[in-house]
Structure 1
C-alpha cells in the first residue's frame, strides 16, 4: 500500500505532467467492421493470432493467394496490427528456398498455429504432402523465429510425422494447435475427417512428439482443433462440415470440455465428442447475414480481459477469390467471445457480425511499452534501481523497489505485463502483491490481513524467458495467471478474496534482477451473461398441420410419390429410399405442403434407428425447405460412415454448377425432434430458415441459417432417402406448423 507521502508526491507530479499517449485511456467507442483483414488481404483463412513481445498483434494464415488477381499460393502469410482490427501484410513465413526440405514439391502449407516457447516463437502448420513415404501423406511441420515476423527456420523433421498410406485417411494429420497445461507439459492437437481429432505429448521445447496419440473426437465430424483452459476446464474448439463449397459452405465451430487436456471432451448436454452420435456445443454458426462458413478459429484476449474469436468466413454473395469454383475467399473475422453458463459463444449466440461493432480494448489507463530512454510520464519519479533501456523496464537493485503509477486502479481491473525474472517481479494491486518469485519457483500472492499463498510454477519453467502475468480483479476477488503469451493456457493460476476496502493504487514491484514490459491496466470488461433469444413457436396452426392420426391429411403434394410411405398407428412410416435429391439424380420422393405467410416454425418428431454398428452412408430423414430439386435446405438425422448427426444441408445453383454443403447441429437420438424456423428479412425480402434439434422435445439447440432469395417462399415438408441397405424406416409422429417465431 502506498504511504501518504507517496500518494501526495504522485498527485503533485500528476498536476505537472501531461498524460502521454501510452497512459491515455482507450476510446470506449472505438469501432470496427468485419472483415478485419480487408486492408491487407482479400482472403486469410485459418487465422492464428498472438500478441508479440513487442506489444503488437500478429496473425498467421493458410497459404492461399492473398489478393484477387494473384494465383500463386503464399508460404504462410503474416499480418500485423496494433489494435486487432487494422491489419497490414508483413511477409510470408517461408520462401521457396527456406520451406521445409521434407515437404513435397507443390505441397500446401495450411492452418498455422503460433506460440511463444522459452524465449522464441514456434509455428506449427500442416504440410499436405511429404517426400518421406509414397506420397499423399500429410504431416505437421514446425519452425522457429526470434520474433513473429521472422526470420523463420523450418525444423529438420516433422513434429508429427506422416502415416504411410495416409491418403486413404483424407489427410488426417491436419490443423495443429499447441497447448501448455498447468504442469508445464506441451500438447499438440491435430486431425481431420476420416481420422478424427488427436492429441499428442510434445517435448519440452515443443519441437517433436514424444508419446502416443490419444483420440479425442471421432472421425467424419471435426477438424481445426484449438484448446484453451478457463475456470478449471480445458475447452476444445473444433470446426465441422466442409470448409470450402462457395455459397453452400456451412463450416462452423463447436466446443467440448474436459478437466484434462487429453479429454474425454463432452458438450453442454454431456454428450461425448467420441461417440457415434457426436457431441458439440455450437460456438459460432451462420446467422443469415452476409457471412457463411464461419469456422477454424483461434482465441485472443484484449487489454480489458475480454476474449475474442478470430476465425474466417465466406461472403455468400461473393464466395470465390478469382474464378467461380476456384479458391474460396475466406477473409479473417473478429467477434466478441462470451462465456455463458460455462460455454463459449460468439456475441451471446448472435453469430458473426456485420456493420460497426465495439472494438477490442488494446490500451488502458496504463499502457506502457517503455519505448523511450527514461521512466517517463505516468509514473512516480523513479527510485534508484529502475531504468529504461532497449525498449523495456529493468530493475537492477538487490533490494525491493516499487514504481508507482499516477493512475488510479479501476474498481474492477484487468492488469497484464511481461516479466523476465532473476529475483522477483510483479505488481501491487490496491495493496495486494502478485509476484513471480524465482527463488520459491512460485506464483505468490500476499493479501493484507490474509497472508501469502504460493502456487508452484512447473519444474520446466524458465524464469530467464519472457512470460505474461495477468490479474483480474472483480467484485472483491482476484485471479492471477502466468502464461507463455496470453493464449489461454496458464501454467500457474491462483484466486484470492480481497479486503472489502482496497486502495486504488497500482505499482510495479521487483527485487533483484528483473525485466518488465508491455504493462497495461484497463477497466475489466463486463461479461455478457444472457444469451440472445432463439426462435420460439407461436400459436399452433391446426389447418396447416397433420397429426398423422388417419390417412395422410389434406394439403400435401408429392414430388415423385413414394407408395411405400404410409400412415398407420398414428405416424407416417417411410422407408428410406435408395435415392436422393442432391446432385443431378433427383430421384427421391419429397412430400410437401404450402407454407403459411410470414414467420412460422415447423416441427416434427422423428423416430429413426440408424444403429451405430454399421456404415449407412447417407441414410437420413427429416424436414425440407424446397424451392425445386436444385434449390433446397434439408434438416435431417443422417448417417455419415459411423457418425450419426443432424445435418442442415443446402443445395443451390451457382455459376453454372450445383453446389451442396451443410451445417452440422448437435447430436441426435433414436427419437429426435426437428424444427425449421422461417423468417423474412424486412429489408431484402429474403427467406431465412434456421435449424433446431432436441432429444427430449423440451430443450432445444439451434444451429445455422440458410437463406433463399426474395420472392415465392419455398414449400416445406418431409424426406426419407439416402439408401435402403440395410433397410431402415423413418416414423414421423406429426408435422406441426406454429405461427410466429
Structure 2
C-alpha cells in the first residue's frame, strides 16, 4: 500500500500562536524595519512557536528557521543527522522511534511552550509506504535546544503479533489514524489539546496533561474529527478567534508533491473537539474516501471544506513586477499551514510551505495576511506579507481591470483558473469582451461583496504592497456561501 508519493516528502503540522504574546518586531506587535528584505528558508510543513522577540518554525527532516518579522528569515537547522543542533545526537536519542517507524528521517514536528516555560517538541517519524509511525515528546529549556527525549506517546501501524493499537483493538489503517502531524493548542478555558493525523483513519483530537504534555489516559487515539478510508486529508492546525468565538481547523487536502494537488481548507466549530462544519454546512466528521473506490480516492472528499488556497499562477502584469519574478506570483501545492494571531490586535497570518511553477519540488516558507469575512470565515490576502499595512480602499480606488483566481476544489496539479474582468465605476463587472458578468459593492470596514456569474461572494478589498516589486496593488479576497475562494489583483485602474 503506497501511503505517500515519497517518504522523503513529508506530511504536515501546525501551531496557532493564540496563547503566546507577539514579539516586538512581529506584524502588529511593534516597529518594522525601514526597508525589510525578504529572505527565504526551506522548512517543509512549518509549525510556529513564539520565543522572546523571535518566531521559530519547525518542519520535517528536523528543519527549523527563525524570524523577527515574517520577512527576514534565518535557517537554523536541517536534516536528522548527528550534527543537527536541535539534539545532542538525534540518531541515537530517538533510536527507538526510528526503529519502530523503520526510517531514518523525521516528519513534521510541533513545538509548544508548556506551562512551566519549557519547550516541548512533539516529534514523529513514519515509514512512508504505510502508516507505521511513532510520536514522542522531547523537551528543552530553550527553543533552539538541545531537546531531550521523554519517550514515545503514540504508535500506529501495528502488525499481527505486535499487540493491539492504542484503543485496545487490532490496528485498522482505514479507521485508526497515522500518528503524525501533531498540533498542540489551548482552548479558551486553557485546556491543552492535540489535533493530529494523516490519511489512513483521518484527523483525531486528544486532551493532554497540563504538566507533562502527554495524552490523558483512557482516550485511545482520541476523538475522530474528519477523514478516513485513506482519504488524502492531513496537516491539522487549530486557531481560536475570540472575536467570532469559533475554533478554526485548517487541513490540507490532496498530495504534497508538485503533482499532488495540495489545497488548504478550513472548517469551524464552537467547541475544540467539534463537530466541525464548513461554510456550506457540511459536517466534516462525515468526510471520508469511498471504500469501494481505489485507494486515495479524492473525488469523495473534494466537495468538503471551506477553500483557503489552491495552486495558482498570476501573470507578471498582476502586480506590475519584472517577468523574471513571476514565480513569486504563483504557487504549486501550497499547504501544511500554521497560523499566527496577535492576541492584542487580532491580526492573523497564514504561514505555509509551497512549491513553485516549473521548479519541481523546490519549496519555501510563505506568509499571507488573513482577515475575517462578515460571516466569520478567514480569507487569505492574494499577495504575500510585505511588512506594510493592508490599507483600506475608498470606493473611487476600486474600479479597474482585475486578474481573478477562482481557487478550485478539484484536487489536481492544474493551477486554479484565472480570468480578466473589469470592475466599473457604476458597480457592474464586465468580462474581457465587455459582457456583463456581475456586480460589486464596497461596504463599511472594507467589506467586498462580489457577485460573479450569479454567485455572491463576501470578503475584503485592500491595498497591498507586493514584496516582489512594483507599485501597491488593490486586491480582493472573497468567499462564496458554499465556501469557494476567489481572489483578485487589480492590473490597471479604470
- TM-score tier, shorter chain, comes to 0.5 to 0.7
2:185 corresponding residue in structure 1:
179
Q: Deviations over 1:524-553 (max 9, x none)?
A: x889999xx9xx9xxxxxxxxxxxxxxxxx
2:433 corresponding residue in structure 1:
none
1:156 corresponding residue in structure 2:
151
2:205 corresponding residue in structure 1:
199
1:345 corresponding residue in structure 2:
379
In structure 2, the CA distance between the partners of 1:336 and 1:266, relative to structure 1 (3 Å rule), is same
Q: CA deviation at 1:31?
A: 4.3
Residue 177 of structure 1 contacts residue 189 of structure 1 at CA under 8 Å; is this kept in 2? yes
Q: Deviations over 1:639-698 (max 9, x none)?
A: xxxxxxx525347xxxxxxxxxx88xxxxxxxxxxxx65459xxxxxxxxxxxxx9x974
In structure 2, the CA distance between the partners of 1:360 and 1:173, relative to structure 1 (3 Å rule), is farther
Q: Deviations over 1:478-535 (max 9, x none)?
A: xxxxxxxxxxxxxxxxxxxxxxxxxxxxxxxxxxxxxxxxxxxxxxx889999xx9xx
What CA distance in whole angstroms lies between the structure 2 residues aligned with 1:236 and 1:175?
A: 13
Residue 311 of structure 2 contacts residue 332 of structure 2 at CA under 8 Å; is this kept in 1? yes
- 1:226 corresponds to which of 237, 246, 263: 237
- 1:89 corresponds to which of 41, 66, 75: 75
What CA distance in whole angstroms lies between the structure 2 residues aligned with 1:86 and 1:122?
A: 25
1:577 corresponding residue in structure 2:
none
2:109 corresponding residue in structure 1:
112
What CA distance in whole angstroms lies between the structure 2 residues aligned with 1:173 and 1:193?
A: 10
Q: CA deviation at 1:208?
A: 3.2
1:99 corresponding residue in structure 2:
94
What CA distance in whole angstroms lies between the structure 2 residues aligned with 1:47 and 1:191?
A: 16
1:281 corresponding residue in structure 2:
306
Q: Structure 1 segments of 4 or more deviating over 6 A?
A: 525-530, 599-602
1:269 corresponding residue in structure 2:
280
What CA distance in whole angstroms lies between the structure 1 residues aligned with 2:404 and 2:352?
A: 32
Q: Which aligned pairs between 1:263-342 and structure 2 lie closer than 5 A?
A: 263-276=274-287, 279-288=304-313, 289-301=329-341, 305-319=346-360, 328-341=361-374, 342=376
In structure 2, the CA distance between the partners of 1:529 and 1:271, relative to structure 1 (3 Å rule), is farther
- 1:208 corresponds to which of 215, 225, 229: 215
Q: Deviations over 1:340-363 (max 9, x none)?
A: 22111211xx2x53xxx53179xx
Q: CA deviation at 1:116?
A: 0.6
- List alignment gaps of at least 5 residues for structure 2: 1-24, 78-83, 160-170, 288-300, 314-328, 422-450, 457-479, 488-494
In structure 2, the CA distance between the partners of 1:343 and 1:108, relative to structure 1 (3 Å rule), is same
Q: Deviations over 1:28-64 (max 9, x none)?
A: 864454xx4x2xx4x3110111111x3222121111x
What CA distance in whole angstroms lies between the structure 2 residues aligned with 1:677 and 1:264?
A: 34
In structure 2, the CA distance between the partners of 1:144 and 1:601, relative to structure 1 (3 Å rule), is closer
Residue 339 of structure 1 contacts residue 528 of structure 1 at CA under 8 Å; is this kept in 2? no
Residue 71 of structure 2 contacts residue 386 of structure 2 at CA under 8 Å; is this kept in 1? no
Q: Which aligned pairs between 1:440-459 and structure 2 lie closer than 5 A?
A: none
In structure 2, the CA distance between the partners of 1:106 and 1:600, relative to structure 1 (3 Å rule), is closer
What CA distance in whole angstroms lies between the structure 2 residues aligned with 1:304 and 1:253?
A: 25
In structure 2, the CA distance between the partners of 1:292 and 1:201, relative to structure 1 (3 Å rule), is same
Q: Which aligned pairs between 1:427-466 and structure 2 lie closer than 5 A?
A: none
1:217 equivalenced with 2:226 (yes/no): yes
Q: Deviations over 1:380-437 (max 9, x none)?
A: xxxxxxxxxxxxxxxxxxxxxxxxxxxxxxxxxxxxxxxxxxxxxxxxxxxxxxxxxx
What CA distance in whole angstroms lies between the structure 1 residues aligned with 2:404 and 2:334?
A: 26
1:649 equivalenced with 2:449 (yes/no): no
What CA distance in whole angstroms lies between the structure 2 residues aligned with 1:128 and 1:81?
A: 29
In structure 2, the CA distance between the partners of 1:106 and 1:650, relative to structure 1 (3 Å rule), is closer
What CA distance in whole angstroms lies between the structure 2 residues aligned with 1:236 and 1:600?
A: 26
Q: How many residues align?
A: 341
What CA distance in whole angstroms lies between the structure 2 residues aligned with 1:179 and 1:149?
A: 20
- 2:248 corresponds to which of 207, 223, 235: 235
Q: CA deviation at 1:153?
A: 0.9
1:44 corresponding residue in structure 2:
43
Q: CA deviation at 1:144?
A: 0.8
Q: CA deviation at 1:77?
A: 2.0
Residue 109 of structure 1 contacts residue 126 of structure 1 at CA under 8 Å; is this kept in 2? yes
What CA distance in whole angstroms lies between the structure 2 residues aligned with 1:168 and 1:143?
A: 27
Give SS of 1:274's match. Answer: helix
Q: CA deviation at 1:185?
A: 2.1
Q: Deviations over 1:675-733 (max 9, x none)?
A: x65459xxxxxxxxxxxxx9x9745554589xxxxxxxxxxxxxxxxxxxxxxxxxxxx
Give SS of 1:101's match. Answer: helix
What CA distance in whole angstroms lies between the structure 1 residues aligned with 2:404 and 2:207?
A: 50
In structure 2, the CA distance between the partners of 1:184 and 1:647, relative to structure 1 (3 Å rule), is same
Q: CA deviation at 1:287?
A: 3.1
Residue 262 of structure 2 contacts residue 411 of structure 2 at CA under 8 Å; is this kept in 1? no
In structure 2, the CA distance between the partners of 1:270 and 1:30, relative to structure 1 (3 Å rule), is farther
In structure 2, the CA distance between the partners of 1:283 and 1:677, relative to structure 1 (3 Å rule), is closer
Residue 56 of structure 2 contacts residue 65 of structure 2 at CA under 8 Å; is this kept in 1? yes
Structure with the largest fraction of strand: 1
Q: Which aligned pairs between 1:380-459 and structure 2 lie closer than 5 A?
A: none
- 1:255 corresponds to which of 266, 284, 306: 266
1:594 corresponding residue in structure 2:
none
What CA distance in whole angstroms lies between the structure 2 residues aligned with 1:255 and 1:141?
A: 27
RMSD: 4.1
